[in-house]
Structure 1
Amino acid sequence: MRYYIYLSTAKVDMLYEQIPPKLLKRLAVEAKVDLKVLSLAVQSPRTEATMYDRLNIVESYLEREFDVSWMSEPTAWFRGDLGLRVAGYGSVASPTFMAGRDGDTLVALIGSAHHLIGYEPAPDMHRVGWSGLPAMFQLLQEDAGRREEHPGRHTVFDEVLYFSEKMEVPPVYCEFLARRLMHGALTLDDGRELTIVIGTPLYVAMADGHG
């Protein structure tokens, strides 16, 4: 069982609805979803599956149809586990930014704060999606406007590194599955090369330990 801290129901639903019906039934068997509860006959409504059933099936679909890689060499979809600092920026209408570093790899994940578990908006509140690069750029630009200018070039990777290093919340060791948005490298002051991976998570869950 996973203890989720972030689950993008919007991504799960979007991907789930695109799975062909015949493949959907096969994946349900592989994911060990109860077919009596799921009722996967073509004529049955897909909404009978719970969110966690749908997530299990979507995850099986991604593993089957895509090359799901590790975070240090990310393909379109990638997994990882590391200590993530998670910030929701005070409002369910804002983005959430999660960042963590493992050796020479820095992972930055951007999503919508209303997908943080236990951080739900009021029913009448308009939900804004923050799971793409425009949200990342907006967040970084707003932060750049608040801080003093300092020497050096400021690529998006420089800004992601600066932003992640100044986060003061304690890290939570997590596992995650995410869609890659950007991937590049940055040369640090000491000459070492840092791989920076920017993605948007399907889910983030607390992990058992530093495996």
Structure 2
Amino acid sequence: MSVRYYLYVSDAKVDMMLAQIDPAYARKRVTEFSIGLTVAGAKRTVEAVGPDRFTRLERVLRHLEDHADLGTVDEPGQYVHGVLPMQWSVIGDGDTVYFGGRTERTVVGLGGSAGHVLGTVAGEPPPQTRLSASVPPVLLDRLAAPAQQDGTGDPDALATVVQANGVLRGPAQTVEFVAKRMLYGPCPYPELQRGGDMAVLLGSPLYVALVD
């Protein structure tokens, strides 16, 4: 197995999926967690960034590869695997991270909670009423803000993804990812169409990793 340099891992998505595809593993983890809290109260904090995080992720990825509707960027299924150059930035109030890129046929955006970026320092927990950036309406609202400030705002959801990619700054890095498909459809801008089949894809990543 190749070694990945992870930028982003969504423990929330991984744990939710693992509880459904491998309940025995989930129960084992809960038991170990409970024992750990009794023996050494801070153990959970250390384990959160330890090898178990990536073991759980790999278990979910194997399930998606073997049993789920896992497609490519240009031919997405319910889940998408891709490798391509992407720019990325923290947006909104600093609580959302967004990756943007494109292939010859598809404009791609990936968005999620900035708290899942590896190396993030934990702060105060968000208010209970604040929704996750993995929820499509919330993510689209975050993406629309930079475009509106740039004077190019458009209420169309797919247009918002294209506009968000257009305002990203900084160098592109080649990354690998697996994401849950959130939106997919034809590009709303005729000038970007190449042969009439340019599409727009918005996803919520399970992980994003740098590729050498």
Give the TM-score category using the shorter length.
0.7 to 0.9
Q: Deviations over 1:18-71 (max 9, x none)?
A: 22447x6xxxxxxxxxxxxxxx99798365981111111111122222121111
Instruction: Give the letter aligned to residue 133 of structure 1.
Output: P
Deviation at 1:114, TM superposition (A): 0.7
Aligned partners of 1:112, 1:80: CA distance in 2, in Å? Answer: 20
Q: Which of 4, 7, 10 pairs up with 2:6? A: 4
Instruction: Give the letter aligned to residue 125 of structure 1.
Output: P
Aligned partners of 2:111, 2:29: CA distance in 1, in Å? Answer: 37
Aligned partners of 2:56, 2:19: CA distance in 1, in Å? Answer: 9
Show the counterpart of 1:34: none
Over the matched positions of the two proteins, sequence identity in percent amounts to 29
Aligned partners of 1:42, 1:110: CA distance in 2, in Å? Answer: 31
Show the counterpart of 2:15: 13
Aligned partners of 1:180, 1:58: CA distance in 2, in Å? Answer: 16
Q: Does 1:139 align with 2:125?
A: no
Q: Does 1:87 align with 2:89?
A: yes
Instruction: Give the letter aligned to residue 79 of structure 2.
Output: W
Q: Could you say if the C-alpha distance between residues 70 and 145 of structure 1 is closer, same or farther in structure 2, counting changes exceeding 3 Å?
A: closer
Q: Which moved more, 1:170-179 or 1:190-199?
A: 190-199
Q: Does 1:164 align with 2:150?
A: no
**1:12-161 map, 5 Å:** 12-21=14-23, 45=31, 47=33, 50-89=52-91, 92=94, 94-122=95-123, 124-126=124-126, 129-148=132-151, 154-161=155-162
Matched length: 188
Q: Which of 200, 204, 211 pairs up with 1:196? A: 200
Deviation at 1:159, TM superposition (A): 2.1
Q: Does 1:184 align with 2:185?
A: yes
Unaligned runs of 5+ in 2: 34-46
TM-score by length of 1: 0.78
Q: Could you say if the C-alpha distance between residues 8 and 43 of structure 1 is closer, same or farther in structure 2, counting changes exceeding 3 Å?
A: closer
Q: Secondary structure at the match of 2:81?
A: strand
Q: Deviations over 1:113-161 (max 9, x none)?
A: 0111112322x332752112112221133234423358xx752222211
Show the counterpart of 2:39: none
TM-score by length of 2: 0.77
Q: Could you say if the C-alpha distance between residues 99 and 41 of structure 1 is closer, same or farther in structure 2, counting changes exceeding 3 Å?
A: closer
Say what the alpha-carbon RMSD is for the aligned residues: 2.8
Unaligned runs of 5+ in 1: 25-39
Deviation at 1:104, TM superposition (A): 2.1
Aligned partners of 2:160, 2:22: CA distance in 1, in Å? Answer: 41
Q: Secondary structure at the match of 2:180?
A: strand
Asked whether the 8 Å contact 2:85–2:174 carries over to 1, the reply is yes
Aligned partners of 1:148, 1:195: CA distance in 2, in Å? Answer: 23
Q: Could you say if the C-alpha distance between residues 53 and 104 of structure 1 is closer, same or farther in structure 2, counting changes exceeding 3 Å?
A: same
Q: Which moved more, 1:41-50 or 1:2-11?
A: 41-50
Q: Could you say if the C-alpha distance between residues 149 and 52 of structure 1 is closer, same or farther in structure 2, counting changes exceeding 3 Å?
A: closer
